[in-house]
């Protein structure tokens, strides 16, 4: 597996793949891999000849009070795991190589990026869109795989790729969970034992909404209120949002149908902000 540290080397590698008529799959990450990341890599490996995983904790998508410095990192372990999966290259540039001193161009996303996570993390999705534009250009990827765990991010990237005519396929991959239902996340390492138990309130709320919808209780306001109470009954929880949305534009859903998704963002002890989501109607219920 090649370890690539500079944008210049990345471009050269990508050109070489193209010369050998190989398609390129990209898996953008911030590292500290868990099974969710590995599944994205496997998904990309099924669809592309050469897979490159970018490993970059992107300062532009973190707010000033956020956890950029504290974000967990373990480069050696990440390289071993990616290599085991059959990844062809890791791209791990320095921050200064991606954003040199005179850097001044950003991608500015519209209203899709202002809601939900964008409302509590101003500028976050512009940072995400900017770094991904750079990664798409540098890697010349034919396709890129993203997790549905970050459902709004996936929607924002799909929008950007369409709006800016980017020649890349954006592939979504289902949320990968621990055996008790907690969505995997590098940030789960911030949780102590008690907080780890509390974190299950997200998955429980998703399951509750699915059960209620399957049982024919589709009142969104009532469901939202019940979920709010359920989450707040756990110690140290704070709600950022509980939102039933249409999965195409992420606008508030008026009724529950095959396109309805429940998106949650919950603070645990004012320390860790966790997100999760699911489709509300199981496929067979939606049919
Ligand atoms: P991150 O390193 O957290 O920025 O995530 C890199 C990619 O992995 C993003 O596309 C995430 O949506 C995806 N991802 C992270 N956690 C999960 C998960 N539990 N299930 C599926 N995809 C995930």
Tens digit of each residue's pLDDT (9 = 90 or more) over 84-115: 999 999 999 999 999 999 999 999 999 999 99
What is the mean pLDDT of the segment spanning 43-47? 98
Tell me the CA–centroid distance for residue 132 and ligand 1, in Å.
14
Question: What pLDDT score was predicted for residue 217?
Answer: 87
pTM, full prediction? 0.97
Tell me the CA–centroid distance for residue 222 and ligand 1, in Å.
31
Residue 60 makes CB contacts below 8 A (sequence gap 6+) with 99, 106, 126, 127, 130, 131
Tell me the CA–centroid distance for residue 89 and ligand 1, in Å.
18
At residue 3, does pLDDT exceed 80? yes
Instruction: Note the pLDDT tens digit of each residue in 121-179.
Output: 999 999 999 999 999 999 999 999 999 999 999 999 999 999 999 999 999 999 999 99
Instruction: Note the pLDDT tens digit of each residue in 229-271.
Output: 999 999 999 999 999 999 999 999 999 999 999 999 999 999 9
At residue 285, does pLDDT exceed 70? no
Query: Looking at 37, 124, 173, 259, which residue is catalytic?
Result: 37
Q: How far apart are CA 120 and CA 283, in angstroms?
A: 31
Active site residue 124: no
Pocket test for ligand 1, best of 147, 203, 276 (most atoms within 8 A of CB): 147
Evaluate: CB of 127 within 6 angstroms of ligand 1. Answer: no
Evaluate: CB of 128 within 6 angstroms of ligand 1. Answer: no
Pocket test for ligand 1, best of 150, 158, 171, 190 (most atoms within 8 A of CB): 150
Evaluate: CB of 146 within 6 angstroms of ligand 1. Answer: yes
Helix (H) or strand (E) holding 24: strand 24-29
DSSP 8-state secondary structure symbol assigned to residue 242: E
Evaluate: CB of 185 within 6 angstroms of ligand 1. Answer: yes
For the chain, what is the mean pLDDT? 97
Residue ranges of alpha helices (H) inside the chain are: 7-19, 35-47, 75-85, 95-98, 117-120, 124-139, 151-163, 193-198, 200-214, 220-232, 283-286
Q: How far apart are CA 280 and CA 40, in angstroms?
A: 23
Evaluate: CB of 33 within 6 angstroms of ligand 1. Answer: no
At residue 60, does pLDDT exceed 80? yes
Question: What pLDDT score was predicted for residue 282?
Answer: 81
Pocket test for ligand 1, best of 52, 149, 153, 186 (most atoms within 8 A of CB): 149
Tell me the CA–centroid distance for residue 37 and ligand 1, in Å.
6
Instruction: Note the pLDDT tens digit of each residue in 195-235.
Output: 999 999 999 999 999 999 999 988 999 999 999 999 999 99
Q: How far apart are CA 249 and CA 102, in angstroms?
A: 35
Contact 233, 249 (CB under 8 A): no
Strands 143-147, 89-91: pairing kind: unpaired
Question: What pLDDT score was predicted for residue 281?
Answer: 95
Structure token digits, residue 168: 């890349």
Evaluate: CB of 184 within 6 angstroms of ligand 1. Answer: yes
| Local structure of 142: helix, strand or coil | coil
Tell me the CA–centroid distance for residue 272 and ligand 1, in Å.
16
Question: What pLDDT score was predicted for residue 286?
Answer: 60
CA-closest candidate to residue 142, choices 51, 56, 55: 51
Tell me the CA–centroid distance for residue 148 and ligand 1, in Å.
8
Angle at 40 between CA 36 and CA 44, to 5 degrees: 170
CA distances from 275 to 110, 138, 163 (A): 21, 30, 26
* Beta-ladder partners of 52: 26, 89
Nearest CA to ligand 1 atom 5: 29
Evaluate: CB of 56 within 6 angstroms of ligand 1. Answer: no
At residue 287, does pLDDT exceed 70? no
What is the mean pLDDT of the segment spanning 48-72? 97
Work out which ligand 1 atom sits closest to the CA atom of 37: 8
* Beta-ladder partners of 177: 183
């Amino acid at each position: 597996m090649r370890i690539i540290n500079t944008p210049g080397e990345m471009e050269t590698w990508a050109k070489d793949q193209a010369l050998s008529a190989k398609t390129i799959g990209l898996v953008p990450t911030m590292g500290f891999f868990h099974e969710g990341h590995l599944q994205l890599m496997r998904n990309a490996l099924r669809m592309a000849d050469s897979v490159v995983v970018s490993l970059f904790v992107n300062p532009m998508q973190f707010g000033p009070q956020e956890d950029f410095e504290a974000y967990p990192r373990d480069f050696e372990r990440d390289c071993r795991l990616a290599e085991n999966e059959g990844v062809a290259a890791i791209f791990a540039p320095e921050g200064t190589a991606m954003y040199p001193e005179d850097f001044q161009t950003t991608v500015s996303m519209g209203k899709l990026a202002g809601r939900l996570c964008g409302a509590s993390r101003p500028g976050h999705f512009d940072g995400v869109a900017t770094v991904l534009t750079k990664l798409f250009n540098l890697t010349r990827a034919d396709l890129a795989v993203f997790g549905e765990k970050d459902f709004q991010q996936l929607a924002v990237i799909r929008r950007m790729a369409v709006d800016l005519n980017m020649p890349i396929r954006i592939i979504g991959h289902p949320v990968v969970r621990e055996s008790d239902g907690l969505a995997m996340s590098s940030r789960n390492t911030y949780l102590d034992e008690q907080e780890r138990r509390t974190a299950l309130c997200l998955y429980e709320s998703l399951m509750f909404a699915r059960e209620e919808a399957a049982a024919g209780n589709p009142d969104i306001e009532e469901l939202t209120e019940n979920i709010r109470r359920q989450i707040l009954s756990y110690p140290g929880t704070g709600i950022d949002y509980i939102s039933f949305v249409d999965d195409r534009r992420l606008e508030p859903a008026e009724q529950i149908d095959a396109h309805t998704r429940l998106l949650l963002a919950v603070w645990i002890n004012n320390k860790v902000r966790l997100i999760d989501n699911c489709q509300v109607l199981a496929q067979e219920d939606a049919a």
